[in-house]
Amino acid sequence: MPVACNTSALTGQDGAVFFEPAGTEFCLLDYTDFPAGTNITVPTDNDYQLGDPVAFYEEGTANLDGSLTASTLGSVTEYYVVAIAADRSTISVSASSGGTAITLAGDGGTGSADTPGAANHIKIEYAEFGAICQVREFSLEISREELDVTTLPCGPQSASRFASFRKIQPSYASGTGSMTVYFTDDQTSLANRLISNVLLKDQQGAKVKLYINAVYSGGSVDDTASMYFEGGIRLTSMSMSANPDDPTTAEMSFSIVNPTHLLNTDID
């Protein structure tokens, strides 16, 4: 890769926003929730949509149904939601978008029961980040709490006409952010889904990648060469504005719950 020697300041045209929707990440029992047939049992407060790409991960010593392939950190096997029950209690998945639902063998877990232990389960989550093409701007703020660790003098003090300064120690970090998003008439767009996610009771699964400098290679973003923030978020507010003179926009606010990357640093 060429060495970067450009000293020009980055601008908004170098950035990008990618998103994984809320209500798409759950822990499932490896036998009970994968019975023989085409239905996978999921919590009814999910927000899956037809066509959503999902992946399954074996947590602990859990065993996924033999008709499905478990993903790993280095290899993601995508499936697509092709059916959702009217009461949202089950979904069906296919190996291709809009394809035929996979018939489960019902042989997960021990083959006749769930793998014992709460830590042993199947995690289902949205398989990949999707680009949001309607974001005008975003902002991000990370701050640290300040602890006052000033102590009483423990020895002779030099005479001075100036006041002593307190000693401050940084503590827990917190983060907030906002986005300005344009509305479109495509009701299935990730932008409109981001806006509507603010009302979900369970926002588990909502994640963002906010790129300061998105470097593309082979038609996709090269994270190694890019600078970005990645982490889980909780959408906290939304305000809309519509008038005859400007594009219709929504202002979104969010808080950070589980950051995993900041600029060039992975956060363990």
What distance in Å separates the CA atoms of residue 200 and residue 20, rounded to the nearest whole number? 14
What distance in Å separates the CA atoms of residue 126 and residue 56, rounded to the nearest whole number? 9
Sort residue 256 into left (φ over 0), alpha (ψ -120 to 50) or beta. beta
Q: Is the pLDDT confidence value at 2 over 70? A: no
pLDDT number for residue 6: 64
Q: List, in sequence order, every beta strand (DSSP E) within the chain.
A: 16-20, 26-28, 40-41, 53-59, 79-84, 90-94, 121-126, 130-131, 135-148, 168-182, 207-213, 216-217, 220-221, 227-243, 246-263, 265-266
**What are the phi and psi torsion angles at 191 (to 5°)?**
-65, -50
pLDDT tens-place string over residues 132-156: 999 999 999 999 999 999 988 887 7
**Interior CA angle at 59 toward 57 and 62, to 5°?**
100
pLDDT number for residue 161: 82
Pairing of strands 168-182, 220-221: unpaired
pLDDT number for residue 81: 98
What distance in Å separates the CA atoms of residue 206 and residue 230, rounded to the nearest whole number? 11
Q: Please, what are the domains in the chain?
A: 12-19+131-266 (2.30.110)
Residue 215 burial (C-beta neighbours within 10 Å; 0-12, 13-18, 19+): middle
Give the global pTM. Answer: 0.85
What distance in Å separates the CA atoms of residue 158 and residue 263, rounded to the nearest whole number? 45
pLDDT number for residue 5: 63
pLDDT tens-place string over residues 12-69: 788 999 999 999 999 999 999 999 999 999 999 999 999 999 999 999 999 999 999 9
What distance in Å separates the CA atoms of residue 58 and residue 38, rounded to the nearest whole number? 19
The string of DSSP codes covering 187-235 is TTSHHHHHHHGGG-S--TT-EEEEEEE--EETTEE-TTT-EEEEEEEEE
The answer to whether residues 129 and 209 touch, using CB atoms and an 8 Å cutoff, is yes
Could you report how far apart the first and last alpha carbons of the chain are, in Å?
A: 27
**What number of other Cβ atoms are within 10 A of residue 228's Cβ?**
22
> How confident is the prediction for the chain on average, in pLDDT?
92
What distance in Å separates the CA atoms of residue 255 and residue 179, rounded to the nearest whole number? 12
